[in-house]
Amino acid sequence: MKNLLGSSVKDLENIALDYGQAAFRGRQIYNWIYNYKNKDKNIEQIEVLPFDFRKKLKDDGYKVSELSIQERNLANDGTLKLLLSTDDNESIECVGIPTEKRLTACLSSQVGCPMDCKFCATGKEGLKRSLKASEILDQILFIENEMNRKVTNIVFMGMGEPLLNIDQLLLSIRSINEDFQVSQRKITVSTVAVPKMMSKLSEKSFQILGNCQFTLAISLHASNQKTRETIIPSAKNYEIKNIIEDSKKFVRETGRRVSFEYLMLNGVNDKLEHANELSNLLRGFQCHVNLIEYNQIDDVEFKRASLKNLQLFESRLSNRGIAVSLRKSRGLDKNAACGQLRQNSINK
């Protein structure tokens, strides 16, 4: 099976030439693939192509999509969550988050996740496999098709640990930038933080992309090592002080500010003493903190911090010179927590 998704204009022109067609036929395929108004993902439906050419492509195993929709969930706030089936009968999630001016696609990079974060539904099933770049990109097409508008922003905050799938991640980012016409500056890669992988990410970004302009978001979720290990078991392999040092190095290598994701958990990490610790930890380099309302999950002990604690925490960080913002959860009425829709499907 040969997936055309992620192919450049030049790649598709060469395929057309290989079949004895004019180069412009490759450009027609390219324009058809990346036009969100084309709902049908079957090569036979590219009616601008000669019938014989379409048939040969299909017979030779060419495809545009390997995914299919298993379930749709539309929340009251307009957030759309899709459960998609892969060719090998696995399931992945993606989310479309609309506002008036933008449509953000939250994408998965793996089937499941090996990191086993205690607040997350995805880790309950462990890691099945990593996704190919074409499977990552296909999530964007499904969101655009279903919501009938172009995706403007990308966040790799869905299922999986992106830094454990770096090559396919960066190949998908290249296509998102060049083919979907989304600026790297509107792409965020979220990681729990894996030892030695931040340096590898910046190095490979320059090799594959030519630069590194996307935002790196680190799921810190704690102000000290002990608390972090209770939330993220893999944290025992990566001291929080080393994460900060590697983050500073990433900033020096790329010139890009690092974001720190901080999920506010009631009674765990939401006290002012934690805000003081966090500000001491992050003071002195180019970074930003996103405080996040917890999207509660059944059978998980953690609870959402109170609005009062959120606001006090935010004020304390701001008063101590840390750039901070509060990100509210979306899709609360429709299983929007990462891995929740997939977990519910497995349990049926």
Q: What is the C-alpha separation between 145 and 17, in angstroms, rounded?
A: 29
Q: What is the C-alpha separation between 125 and 91, in angstroms, rounded?
A: 11
Instruction: Give how far Cα 337 sits from Cα of 70, 331, 344, Å.
Output: 17, 8, 11
Two tokens, residue 132: 């190919």
Neighbours of 16 (CB within 10 A): 22
Q: Please pick, among 13, 66, 93, 261, the residue that the annotation labels catalytic.
A: 93
Estimate the share of the chain in helix, then strand, then coil, as percent rounded to the nearest 5: 40, 20, 40
Q: What is the C-alpha separation between 339 and 127, in angstroms, rounded?
A: 12
DSSP calls for 285-333: SSEEEEEEE----TT----BPPHHHHHHHHHHHHHTT--EEEE----TT
| 274 neighbors 314 (Cβ within 8 angstroms) | no
Neighbours of 44 (CB within 10 A): 12
Q: Please pick, among 94, 106, 117, 338, the residue that the annotation labels catalytic.
A: 338
Query: If residue 216 lies in a helix (H) or strand (E), which one and from where to where?
Result: strand 215-219
In one-letter notation, the amino acid at residue 325 is: S
Can 93 be counted among the known catalytic residues? Answer: yes
Q: What is the C-alpha separation between 20 and 14, in angstroms, rounded?
A: 10
Neighbours of 3 (CB within 10 A): 19
Two tokens, residue 273: 């003493």
Can 146 be counted among the known catalytic residues? Answer: no
Q: What is the C-alpha separation between 43 and 231, in angstroms, rounded?
A: 46
The catalytic residues are: 93, 338
